[in-house]
């Protein structure tokens, strides 16, 4: 069997997918994740669920916050969100096209699935705007490479995701090993 070069895009992409999974698990113990990336993955590298921190409960949508009748959040007793994650192990900042590619995978997913774009660099301003304007639950996660210890530098989501994540905050925790981000119930 031929050994995969550590410089190959397949090796580095796969390593980054595992790095993102580990970073999400450090953010919150509520993530249950499976790597699904590979040939014909349709842009989804990781699938799983997120059991939202205890104090956070989905809020009922009002007509003003809904763009369509089926955009309302799931029933209040539903505490676990389905996730799909697209990982970009690239040096360039994720731009509008990356968010559009992820959005293009969503019609096949349940309306209550949170889509996360994970990248090694902060998103461009235009990419951030695309994320915030989208009417489906979507988030952006900036995670350093494995070589840079997989530190989470940013995690934010749009208004559609906020309906499911009421009461969840991202906080910075400083320890002897340096600063890190955590998800907490407000």
CATH number at residue 91: 3.40.1350
Whether 47 shows a pLDDT value over 60: the answer reads yes
Our count of domains for the chain comes to 1
Whether 67 shows a pLDDT value over 50: the answer reads no
Binned at pLDDT 50, 70 and 90, residue 15 comes out as: very high
Q: Is residue 181 assigned to a domain?
A: yes
- Does this model's pTM top 0.75? yes
Structural domain of residue 125, as residue ranges? 9-62+71-185
Q: Is residue 3 assigned to a domain?
A: no
Q: Is residue 151 assigned to a domain?
A: yes
Q: Is residue 2 assigned to a domain?
A: no
Q: Is residue 90 assigned to a domain?
A: yes
Which secondary structure element, helix H or strand E, spans residue 116, and what is its range?
strand 113-119
Beta strand 80-88 with 113-119 is: parallel
Q: Is residue 143 assigned to a domain?
A: yes
How large is the C-alpha radius of gyration of the chain?
16
Q: What is the pLDDT of residue 78?
A: 43
Q: What is the pLDDT of residue 182?
A: 80
Q: What is the pLDDT of residues 98-154, one digit of tens each?
A: 999 999 988 889 988 999 999 999 999 999 999 999 999 999 999 999 888 888 999
Binned at pLDDT 50, 70 and 90, residue 68 comes out as: very low
């Amino acid at each position: 069997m031929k050994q995969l070069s550590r410089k190959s895009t397949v090796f580095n992409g796969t390593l980054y997918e595992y790095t993102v999974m580990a970073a999400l698990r450090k953010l919150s113990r509520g993530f249950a994740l499976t790597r699904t990336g590979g040939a014909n993955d349709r842009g989804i590298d990781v699938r799983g669920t997120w059991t939202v921190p205890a104090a956070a409960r989905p809020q009922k949508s009002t007509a003003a916050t809904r763009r369509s009748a089926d955009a309302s959040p799931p029933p209040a007793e539903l505490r676990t969100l389905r996730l799909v994650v697209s990982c970009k192990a690239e040096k360039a900042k994720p731009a509008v096209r990356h968010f559009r590619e992820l959005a293009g995978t969503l019609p096949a997913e349940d309306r209550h699935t949170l889509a996360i774009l994970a990248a090694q660099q902060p998103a461009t301003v235009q990419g951030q705007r695309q994320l915030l304007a989208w009417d489906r639950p979507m988030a952006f996660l900036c995670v350093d490479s494995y070589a840079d210890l997989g530190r989470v530098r940013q995690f934010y989501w749009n208004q559609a995701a906020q309906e499911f994540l009421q009461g969840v905050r991202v906080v910075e925790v400083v320890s002897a090993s340096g600063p890190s981000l955590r998800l907490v119930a407000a």
